Amino acid sequence: MSLVRDALTILAVCAGAFFFLAGTVGLLRFPDALSRLHALTKADNLGLGLIVLGLLLQTEGAFPALRLISVWLLGLLAGATVTQLIARAVHPGGLHD
Amino acid sequence: MNAATLYGLCSAVLVGLGLYGLIIHPEPLRKILAFNLIGGGVFLLFGVVARRGAAAGFGGDPVPQALVITGLVVAFASTALALALLVRLSSEPGRANLPSEGSGEEPMGGGPL
Amino acid sequence: MVFDAGLAVLVLGVAAWTIVARDTFAAVVGFIAYGLLLALVWVRLAAPDVALTEAAIGSGLTGVLLLGASTRVRRTKNLTAGKEPAAALRLAAIGLCVMVSAAIAVLVLLLPEPAPTLAAPVAANLAATGLGNPVTAVLMAYRAIDTLLEVVVLLLALLGVWSLAPDRLWGGVPGLHYRADPDGILTFDAQLLVPIGILVGIHIFWVGSVAPGGEFQGATILAAMWILTTLSGLVDTPSVSRRWLRLLLIAGPAVFVAIGLAGFAMAGAFLAYPIEHAKLLILIIEVPVTLSIAAMLALLVAGPPERSLHR
Amino acid sequence: MANFLLAAAGFVMATVALALVRILRRPAAAERIMAAQLLGTGGIAALLLLAEATGVPAAVDVALVLALLAAFVSVAFVKSADRPEADAK
């Protein structure tokens, strides 16, 4: 049982790490700011989410699990805010900088 | 070489880097940044000393760790004061001469009161 | 070990960027990254209490302070217009800094073995404080006088910042007034984030007695949430001459000093706690001190008064 | 398991650092904040992995604080780039 759980953790963490790599590649390769932003949100939402999922399988008890999930939700919120604000900043008619 | 020594050497380089920035940059804001960089290096040195003093079931000596926490807060307070001074100074147009009338606007950094 | 080496290289790289970057704003972003990476280093050095403080103050609040200052100084045109240093000075500076670094590096390599430590006495007396976290015990019991003085330093720094206000704005309202946009992301963010943040702040403060966390870390988060509400325009910063604000600022240090003086009567020394009530007294000090520190930190970020009292 | 998680943390930090090196050179301020955001997320992920790998559960609290302040710093960034004029009446 614990072997299956470990295998699932490794799978999820690897997938999460892959999305971080994908986010980096996108950030480096995409031509304009908006599509780079699109790549960045993949790392934020999916990479962190998958790593949290993998670690959830290793934790016992409700409180540590709740803490992990709230880290992910806060990360999502931060990502969503930044994405909104930066999109407005790079969009013509928005902020210029 | 263990991790603590590694970070100790890292802190030595950080202090050097910060000192260089403090000397070289003419802009006050960059000097404040560089000074904070030195601070980070010094705190890290304390952390290394704390880590080496791990004993009695603790991962590190709690006394230097507590000192660093105090230091971080004080560093923040002094940075805030320095930045407020800088912003105030930069908002004063042409400080080369004294104000013509005593209308309350005192020259920044003026003579003894 | 490989991880540590990589992390150290990354810290050094970001620090070097902060120094060499041409643009001040880029250097500020570099500094925020530096604080964030140092938080990781503190976890590696088995100092999670410090990691929390670094993440909250070193990276978060200092970052916000620097971001605000960098745009304002840039906007009002550079006041220095200083010249680039000459090559000779640059070389001399490099020489000096290499020597300083080398001296510290040698000292690090020559640190005494076995390392001197106060961990054992702290552990031996931990039970007497009723606390489970040795760092909190040091801050609140063995070196409580340092902590008291630190709160006073914060208060003095705040008075210093306030005294930078021009005479006509004396006792006015710090910072700028932000208009709330009811449909904007910022309003949504503040409404969602602030309650969660206050909860996290109280959690970090509360676990400080038994686990990493404590008053400074909790207070920083509370301060950040206060600043967020003013940034989003939901609440305006109070004028600095408000009586409740001044009472809030002074409550922490006052209770701290009062209990310290009571220590003469109860246990025969300044800031000495009688053993049977140690934990309760520490808690009575910590709650107002945390609230006072939160207010001080938030007002330090807000800066000197910029709007007059009579609007 | 611990070694794997530590390696994963190292990998995440390495990819993030790679992005950081390239992005910090670009001129636009928005891109720099993007880089800082990516570093923040990477740091949070690395902290969570470290907490499990080295058995320091408090590192999760550090990650929690970072996640909370990441949103805060980004808000402050936009506000500082778009400061309304002082209405000193």
What residues in chain C have per-residue pLDDT under 70? 74-85, 177, 182-183, 309-311
The answer as to whether A48 is a domain residue is yes
Q: What residues make up the domain containing B82?
A: 3-90
Give the residue, D57 or C295, on which the prediction is more confident.
Answer: C295
Residue A96: is its pLDDT beyond 70? no
Please check whether residue D48 touches C, CB under 8 A.
no
Give the residue, D6 or D30, on which the prediction is more confident.
Answer: D6
Count the domains in chain A.
1
Read off the DSSP letter of residue C115.
P
Nearest CA-CA distance, residue C234 and chain B, Å: 24
Give the residue numbers in A contacting D (CB under 8 Å), as ranges: 6, 9-10, 13-14, 16-17, 20-21, 23-24, 27-28, 33, 36-37, 40, 43-44, 47-48, 51-52, 55, 58-59, 64, 67-68, 70-71, 74-75, 77-79, 81-82, 85-86, 89-90, 95, 97
The answer as to whether A95 is a domain residue is no
Q: What residues make up the domain containing A32?
A: 2-90
The answer as to whether A39 is a domain residue is yes
The answer as to whether B42 is a domain residue is yes
Q: What is the mean pLDDT of residues D37-63?
A: 86
Name the most confidently modeled range: A84-93, B45-54, C65-74, D20-29.
B45-54
Smallest Cα–Cα separation from B90: which of D15, D74, C74? Answer: C74
What is the DSSP pairing of strand C305-307 with strand C173-174? antiparallel
pLDDT of residue C297: 92
Q: What is the mean pLDDT of residues D69-88?
A: 63
Give the residue numbers in D contacting A (CB under 8 Å), as ranges: 1, 4-5, 8, 11-12, 15-16, 18-19, 22-23, 28-31, 33-35, 37-38, 40-42, 44-45, 48-49, 52, 57, 60-61, 63-64, 67-68, 70-71, 74-75, 77-78, 81-82
Write the CA distances from C115 to B50, B69, C205, integer angstroms.
Answer: 9, 21, 31
Please check whether residue B104 touches C, CB under 8 A.
yes
pLDDT of residue B82: 92
Could you tell me what percent of chain D has a pLDDT over 90? 0
Calculate ∠ Cα C139-D40-C292, nearest 5°. Answer: 35
pLDDT band at D67 (very low <50, low <70, confident <90, very high): confident
The answer as to whether B95 is a domain residue is no
Write the CA distances from C139 to A29, C130, C214, C253, integer angstroms.
Answer: 49, 14, 10, 15
Question: pTM for the complete prediction?
Answer: 0.87
Domain segments of chain C as ranges: 1-116, 117-311
Smallest Cα–Cα separation from C177: which of D74, D73, D85? Answer: D85
pLDDT of residue C284: 85
Give the residue, C274 or B77, on which the prediction is more confident.
Answer: B77
Contacts of B23 in chain C (CB under 8 A): 85, 89, 93, 96-97
Chain segment B33-64, per-residue pLDDT in tens? 999 999 999 999 999 988 887 777 777 788 88
Count the domains in chain B.
1
pLDDT of residue B38: 93
Neighbours of chain D (3+ CB pairs under 8 A): A, C
Q: Give Cα B73 distance to the centre of its chain.
A: 11
pLDDT band at B96 (very low <50, low <70, confident <90, very high): very low
The residue in chain D having the minimum alpha-carbon distance to the alpha carbon of residue C203 is D61
Could you tell me what percent of chain A has a pLDDT over 70? 90
pLDDT band at B97 (very low <50, low <70, confident <90, very high): very low
Write the CA distances from B26 to B31, B109, C10, C33, C84, integer angstroms.
Answer: 8, 19, 26, 23, 7
Q: Which of B20-24, C172-176, C293-297, D5-9 has the lowest mean pLDDT?
A: C172-176
Q: What is the mean pLDDT of residues D20-27?
A: 73
Residue A32: is its pLDDT beyond 80? no
Nearest CA-CA distance, residue D80 and chain C, Å: 5
The answer as to whether A96 is a domain residue is no
Are C69 and B29 a contacting pair, CB within 8 Å? yes
Q: Could you give the CA distance from residue C290 to residue C301 in angstroms, rounded to a whole number?
A: 17
Residue D85: is its pLDDT beyond 80? no
Matching residue, tokens 């950081």: D20
Please check whether residue A25 touches C, CB under 8 A.
no
Contact C177 D87 (CB under 8 A): yes
Please check whether residue C193 touches A, CB under 8 A.
yes
* Cβ-based contacts under 8 A for chains C and D: 160
Read off the DSSP letter of residue A93.
T
Classify A83 as helix, strand or coil. Answer: helix
Q: Could you give the CA distance from residue D82 to residue D85 in angstroms, rounded to a whole number?
A: 9
The residue in chain A having the minimum alpha-carbon distance to the alpha carbon of residue C25 is A97
Give the residue, B104 or C280, on which the prediction is more confident.
Answer: C280
The answer as to whether B98 is a domain residue is no
For chain A, give the number of residues.
Answer: 97
Are A85 and C185 a contacting pair, CB within 8 Å? yes
Residue B105: is its pLDDT beyond 50? no
pLDDT of residue C75: 58
Give the residue, B50 or D87, on which the prediction is more confident.
Answer: B50
pLDDT of residue B113: 38
pLDDT band at D82 (very low <50, low <70, confident <90, very high): low
Element (H, E) at C134: helix C134-137
Residue B111: is its pLDDT beyond 50? no
pLDDT of residue C74: 64
Residue B30 belongs to domain with CATH number = 1.10.287.3510
pLDDT of residue B107: 44
Are C55 and C35 a contacting pair, CB within 8 Å? yes
Residue B79: is its pLDDT beyond 90? yes
Residues 6+ away with beta carbon under 8 Å from A74:
C193, C196, D64, D67, D68, D70, D71
Please report which residue ranges of B25-112 form alpha helices under DSSP H.
28-52, 62-90
Element (H, E) at C20: helix C2-20
Give the residue, B81 or C237, on which the prediction is more confident.
Answer: B81
Please check whether residue C3 touches D, CB under 8 A.
yes
Matching residue, tokens 């794997």: D4
Specify the amino acid at residue C188.
F
pLDDT of residue D80: 67
Tell me the average pLDDT of chain D: 78
